[in-house]
A and B are shown apart, each in its own frame.
Chain A
Amino acid sequence: MMRTLRWIVYIVAVLALNFPVIVTLVTSFKSAGEISVNPGLWVAAPTLENYRGVLTVSSRLDIYGYLGNSLAVSLIGSLLAIVLTFPAAYAIARGKFGRRVLLPAVVNLRAVPLIIFAIPIYMMFQVLGLLDTRLGLGLILTIVNLPLALIILVNAIAELPMELDEAARIDGANTLQLLIRIVQPVIRPALATCAIFGFITAWNEFLFGLMLTANHAVPMTVGASFFFSASGGGVRWGPASAVMIVGALPPMVLGLAMYRQISGSLMAGAVKG
């Protein structure tokens, strides 16, 4: 009895929480004619027409461009965050260096509304020629990823036995060699979590994409809204739905594949942060 009730609650929760995605998925398989007569949650005559239309390159809306931009800036944003935080995390975990200022400063970034930096960054990028470039957006997404990456890596390194470092030192390794050859292989799971989590966060970012890009580096989250301002008349819901599904799919697939690691790091971030 209780068991049945738990299942019912579970299923209702899953459906309610994922409702917008379900509706969009269903709509993406409807023809324009069907959408106008059947807004319900079933499809009478499924069609791939919307996806075919959306995935065909047009001069005005370039979905491959948006996807490529998102991929590039997410890779920069997640990998650069690791490159920057890995050595710092080692210093914090092993040297007890930077615990008083650097660690809290970076961790608290998680709680600062980043829009306050957006305007000067916009003006700085204008001077540096980084506006509307993948590199520029990637650099800013790195900032977004720093707090969680630093927390995850500090925790991972703090758990390693000291003997590991000492053995390497006796073998004459310098710090850089130690980090790359000895520490890196053992904390690979934590590095992978950082990379995947950072990738998802960067892919889903919107504010900086909106402010710092215009034509060449527009990411998927911003590009998707272009499909809503269709030429004349109302929104064409079929293609718009297909675009949203295509744009939301990469982080959803990654998230499902890595849900264990992601839940673990979210919890760690919450407890330590």
Chain B
Amino acid sequence: MRSPRLGWALLTSPLVLFLLLFLGFPTVVDGVYSLSQVTFETLRTPRLSGFANYAAVLADPGFWSAVWFSLRFGVLTAVAECLVGLALAVFLSPLIDKRQLLMAPLMLPMMVAPAMVGLMYRLVLNEFAGPVPYYLEMWFGNSPAFLGADTAFWTLCVVEALQWTPFAFLLFYAAFRVIPEEVREAAAIDGAARWQTLMRVELPLMAPTIGVALFIRFIDGFRVFDNVYTLTGSGPGGSTTSLSIYIYEAFFNEAAIGKAIAASIVLFAASFLVLVGIGRLASPRTAA
């Protein structure tokens, strides 16, 4: 312990060892297997095959439609969650400021497992037992097929957005509250209407938080698995195959280990590039 750096290193060693074992080693395995011809029978003796797996993945239309699904899903849900969350935060702030307890029911959806929420919507949207088709039939005479090939994507977007709007709301509410009162007063003295104060003063001050919320929600939407898997599987007809589900199915259903791993690496590289890009953009303070 005489050398201080050694002392600090010792303190971080349990975490570092754990990461090397459970993430570092799998990454190496990923790298080797993605370049190999490998089946469940030849797991310990993979044969190097160059970039064949990558070529197979990049030539697979299924891969690109999964990328497209995940991108659209991530962008649409992140934007929807942030818009609604922002509106709720600004509009409900006077109500919640006085009664913090009102926050709890709004946060509740985040406490439920997304996989469980997917199962719950199977009930909610079921044509015989679900209340949504029941009331739509009663009031309008018919009810759309929520999980049909054309509609399943939008249904999933709504399911995801309803569960995670509270996250955006929470962040925006916190950011809205820390805007100093003097700033608003100054804007009012300058003759700004309430609407102008919001658009010109408050929203710009909240911009960093909005960026963070959009980013986090995009990432979570992009890698979606749980609720899609339990609500639609990947169907109908593969129309709801997200990238995570693509990898899962390639591995478990097709036993295409090399292909599944090559797709993982492509995904890893993509998220790494995005993270580095964001890191460059973010200020040094928030990057710490």
Which residues of A are in contact with B by a Cβ distance under 8 Å? Answer: 3, 6-7, 9-10, 13-14, 16-21, 23-24, 27, 35-36, 39-41, 83-85, 87-88, 90-92, 95, 97-99, 102-106, 108-124, 126, 139-140, 142-143, 146, 150, 174-175, 200, 203-207, 210-211, 221-222, 224-225, 228, 234-235, 237, 240-241, 244, 247-248, 251-252, 254-256, 259-260, 262-263, 266-267, 270-273
Residues in chain A near residue B135, CB distance under 8 A: 40
Docked-complex contact B162 and A16, CB < 8 angstroms = yes
Residue of A nearest to B252 (CB): A211
Docked-complex contact B120 and A244, CB < 8 angstroms = yes
Residues in chain A near residue B1, CB distance under 8 A: 174-175
The distance in angstroms between the C-alpha atoms of A136 and B172, with both chains bound, is: 37
Q: Determine which residue in B12, B126, B212, B274 has the highest number of CB atoms from chain A within 10 A of its CB, and name it.
A: B12
**Which among B15, B25, B92, B167 is the interface contact of A102 at CB below 8 angstroms?**
B15
Docked-complex contact A204 and B114, CB < 8 angstroms = yes
**Which among A109, A140, A240, A270 is the interface contact of B213 at CB below 8 angstroms?**
A270
Docked-complex contact A108 and B30, CB < 8 angstroms = no
The distance in angstroms between the C-alpha atoms of A259 and B22, with both chains bound, is: 31
Main secondary structure on A side of the interface with B: helix
Residues in chain A near residue B264, CB distance under 8 A: 115-116, 119
**B135-156: which have CB < 8 Å to A?**
135
Give B206 Cβ to nearest chain A Cβ, in Å: 12
Q: Per-residue 0/1 for B97-128: is the Cβ within 8 Å of any A Cβ (1 yes, 0 no)?
A: 00010111111111111111101111110101
Q: Is B51 an interface residue (CB 8 A)?
A: no
The distance in angstroms between the C-alpha atoms of A36 and B126, with both chains bound, is: 12
Give A92 Cβ to nearest chain B Cβ, in Å: 8
Docked-complex contact B170 and A263, CB < 8 angstroms = yes
Q: Is B239 an interface residue (CB 8 A)?
A: no
Give A198 Cβ to nearest chain B Cβ, in Å: 13
Docked-complex contact B267 and A97, CB < 8 angstroms = no
Residues in chain A near residue B244, CB distance under 8 A: 113, 115, 207
Docked-complex contact A116 and B123, CB < 8 angstroms = no
Docked-complex contact A259 and B104, CB < 8 angstroms = yes
Contacts A98-B12, A124-B26 given; indicate if A262 touches B107 (C-beta within 8 A): yes
Q: Is B204 an interface residue (CB 8 A)?
A: no
**Which among A27, A102, A122, A123 is the interface contact of B12 at CB below 8 angstroms?**
A102
- Tally chain B residues at the interface, Cβ within 8 Å: 98
Docked-complex contact A23 and B120, CB < 8 angstroms = yes
Q: Is B68 an interface residue (CB 8 A)?
A: no
Residues in chain B near residue A228, CB distance under 8 A: 119, 122
Give A165 Cβ to nearest chain B Cβ, in Å: 13
**Which among A113, A126, A240, A272 is the interface contact of B286 at CB below 8 angstroms?**
A272
Give B73 Cβ to nearest chain A Cβ, in Å: 13
Docked-complex contact B120 and A121, CB < 8 angstroms = no
Give B22 Cβ to nearest chain A Cβ, in Å: 6
Other than the given A21-B120, A124-B29, A252-B108, 6 more pairs (CB < 8 A) read: A20-B124, A23-B123, A40-B135, A124-B26, A251-B112, A270-B213
Main secondary structure on B side of the interface with A: helix
Contacts A91-B8, A225-B115 given; indicate if A123 touches B29 (C-beta within 8 A): yes
Residues in chain B near residue A234, CB distance under 8 A: 128
Contacts A90-B11, A224-B119 given; indicate if A112 touches B109 (C-beta within 8 A): no
Q: Is B248 an interface residue (CB 8 A)?
A: yes
Docked-complex contact B288 and A103, CB < 8 angstroms = yes
Give B256 Cβ to nearest chain A Cβ, in Å: 11
Q: Is B226 an interface residue (CB 8 A)?
A: yes
Docked-complex contact B11 and A91, CB < 8 angstroms = yes
The distance in angstroms between the C-alpha atoms of A122 and B261, with both chains bound, is: 12
**B247-285: which have CB < 8 Å to A?**
247-248, 251-252, 257, 260-261, 264-265, 267-268, 271, 274-275, 279
The distance in angstroms between the C-alpha atoms of A41 and B14, with both chains bound, is: 52
Give B25 Cβ to nearest chain A Cβ, in Å: 7
Contacts A27-B123, A88-B11, A108-B275 given; indicate if A21 touches B100 (C-beta within 8 A): no
Residues in chain A near residue B189, CB distance under 8 A: none
Contacts A6-B95, A91-B12 given; indicate if A255 touches B107 (C-beta within 8 A): yes
Q: Determine which residue in B9, B11, B23, B243 has the highest number of CB atoms from chain A within 10 A of its CB, and name it.
A: B11
Q: Per-residue 0/1 for B1-31: is the Cβ within 8 Å of any A Cβ (1 yes, 0 no)?
A: 1001101110110111011001101110110
Q: Is B56 an interface residue (CB 8 A)?
A: no
Give B23 Cβ to nearest chain A Cβ, in Å: 6
Give B109 Cβ to nearest chain A Cβ, in Å: 5
Residues in chain B near residue A247, CB distance under 8 A: 113, 116
Residue of B nearest to A174 (CB): B1
Q: Per-residue 0/1 for B222-233: is the Cβ within 8 Å of any A Cβ (1 yes, 0 no)?
A: 110110011000
Docked-complex contact A270 and B216, CB < 8 angstroms = yes
Docked-complex contact A113 and B108, CB < 8 angstroms = no
Docked-complex contact B105 and A104, CB < 8 angstroms = no
Docked-complex contact A267 and B15, CB < 8 angstroms = no
Docked-complex contact B109 and A18, CB < 8 angstroms = yes
Residues in chain A near residue B260, CB distance under 8 A: 119
Docked-complex contact A113 and B174, CB < 8 angstroms = no
Q: Is B94 an interface residue (CB 8 A)?
A: yes
